Amino acid sequence: MQWVIENKDGNNTMLPVKMLTPTQLKAAVSPLAWKILQLLAQKPDYPKGLGKRLKVHEQKIYYHIRRLEAAGLVKKLRTETKQGALANIYTIVEPAFAITLKELEPATKLFSMPQSYREYLEPFIKNGRLDALIVIGNPEPHGPDKAKGHDGLYATDLALFLGTFLNFVPSSSIKLDTDMREVDMKRNLILIGGPGVNAVTAKVNAKLPIHFVRVKYNHNYFTQLKSEVSGKTYSEESYAIICKTKNPWDKNKAILVIAGRRFFGTKAAVLAIMQHFDEVCKGNSYNPKVHARVIDGIDMDSDGEIDAVEFLE
């Protein structure tokens, strides 16, 4: 059985639907035929009864009933005695009709989500399938700083979150930054970890509206976050960013960067997505058109683990 589904304010309403061919559509679209279908959708009836309700001669009703029955849009439900004669009672085959101009595609759980969720996720999820690579930093020393990627641990939590919107997950959806090739860079990308531990984040970092910068202090270097939206800088180790932007290697694709100054900042960013995705979707507090947020991870119960977040912009 096929269905037509409408979502309003997060609530779904639905009806069984019959898909129409051009011939069937032709039988249904005349004004009188359409009125007959609407009345039969309310309750079954026989042609003479329909004629009385529509104030039309019953011969015209018979003509359209025969066409609609031949087209498979109405069917005889039963025979009754009406005014001393046998009468055929008709009903519609389904309470809704539809036409398609291309083949149906796999259903996606996104339709039941708020519009803001769909707009945020659809570059990365199409027709219920993940259409993106999740890129994590190699846990072995690599890059100029010989860094080890510990942030990849939180890719599992992110994958579980994305899975609530998916009907299908491809087997090769996660890659190490050191395994990325030129063709991979032109896909939709979800980057886990900052530029120090993720080589792909390092390549796109300067193009982000909120990015990582190296600062020298007492002959040592450390990174902080610099927001081109607010002009502010953020230096605490628990700070992180969630930035969605166009892919510089293919403008038709998108990149989502989830990265902290340290790995526990990345944990805070993933936690923000899982617990407060509606807030993530709102965009930057200084400019909602920019999908870039600054997150602060908070240890609410003082057990040494981040368990809450605060949005700083």
Sorted by sequence, the CB contacts under 8 Å of residue 136 that are 6+ apart come out as 149, 151, 152, 155, 174, 175, 176, 177, 192, 193, 198
In a domain, 103, yes or no: no
Tell me the per-residue pLDDT of 214-238, one tens digit each, with 9 for 90 and over. 876 655 556 899 999 999 999 998 9
Closest of 290, 312, 288, 305 to residue 236, by C-alpha = 312
Query: Is 208 a residue whose pLDDT tops 70?
Result: yes
pLDDT in tens, 143-174: 777 877 788 788 888 988 888 888 766 667 89
- pLDDT tens, position by position, 4-55: 777 666 566 778 889 999 989 999 999 999 999 999 999 999 999 999 999 9
CATH number, domain of 285, equals 3.30.379.10
Whether residue 119 is contained in a domain is answered as yes
* pTM value > 0.75: no
Any domain includes 104: no
Q: Are residues 91 and 233 in the same domain?
A: no
Q: Are residues 30 and 63 in the same domain?
A: yes
My answer on whether 250 and 293 are in the same domain is yes
User: Rounded to the nearest 5 degrees, what angle is found at the Cα of 225, between the Cα atoms of 221 and 255?
Assistant: 120
Say yes or no: 56 and 174 in one domain. Answer: no
The domain in which residue 251 lies consists of 109-311
Predicted local confidence at residue 9, as pLDDT: 63
Domain boundary among 54, 74, 98: 98
Give the chain's domain count: 2
120 and 85 within one domain = no
| The predicted structure's pLDDT at residue 264 | 87
Higher pLDDT, 1 or 100: 100
Instruction: Give 295's strand partners.
Output: 240, 311
